[in-house]
Structures are given as structure tokens and as C-alpha cells.
Amino acid sequence: MCRNIKTLHNFAPPATDEEIRASSLQFVRKLSGFTRPSKSNELAFDRAVDQVTQVARELLGSLVTNAPPRDRDIEIAKARARSLVRFQSSAA
């Protein structure tokens, strides 16, 4: 579940609202243990996702770094290479 939470800081272009919300949703899913909450828990679940999204936006907006922004395409290529190595060794 949490493998889908991606690092969002220091990218060019910056993380989108959709990316921040998706990470927040994954975080709340992990904490609650629900992939989809029941009707009785839906309001609390949605409220938690909204609050985590807001806090994540504030965090990303306040972080500073001297490192140059990372390129999304390069990071995706690195992740694919790591995955290839990881899963090729599992199949052997």
C-alpha cells in the first residue's frame, strides 16, 4: 500500500495537487487499514485525507534545499532500473 507514496519534494516542475492528494490518500489508507472505508467511516476518512493533503502542501511549500531540482524522467528511469534488478533476481 505505502509503496505508492512517492517523494514529492524538490522536483521540477513541482508536485501537483493530484500527486499530493494521492500520497495523502495512501497515507490515510495505511494508517486506517481501509482501502475503502465503510459508509459510517467515510466522513472521517475523507476529512483525514483533506487535512493530510493540506498539511503536506504546507510542508512542501516550506521546505528549502540547496540541491538542484530533480528531473522526473530521470527519477522514473532510475526507479524502473531498480525494479528490473529487483524482480529479475527474484525470478531466478
Number of domains comprising the chain:
1
Residue 87, in any domain of the structure: yes
What nine digits make up the cell of 8? 514529492
Contact 5, 23 (CB under 8 A): yes
CA distances from 12 to 63, 77, 84, 85 (A): 14, 16, 25, 27
Find the domain containing 19 and state its range. 11-91
Residue 42, in any domain of the structure: yes
Contact 7, 79 (CB under 8 A): no
Residue 16, in any domain of the structure: yes
Residue 4, in any domain of the structure: no
What nine digits make up the cell of 67? 540541491
Residue 61, in any domain of the structure: yes
Residue 53, in any domain of the structure: yes
Q: Give the pTM.
A: 0.80
Residue 36, in any domain of the structure: yes
Residue 2, in any domain of the structure: no
Q: Which of 16, 49, 50, 7 is nearest to 30 (CA)?
A: 49
How far, rounded to the nearest angstrom, does the alpha carbon of residue 6 sit from its chain's CA centroid? Answer: 4
Per-residue pLDDT of the chain (92 residues; tens, 9 = 90+): 456 678 899 998 999 999 999 999 999 999 999 999 999 999 999 999 999 999 999 999 999 999 999 998 998 899 899 989 988 866 65
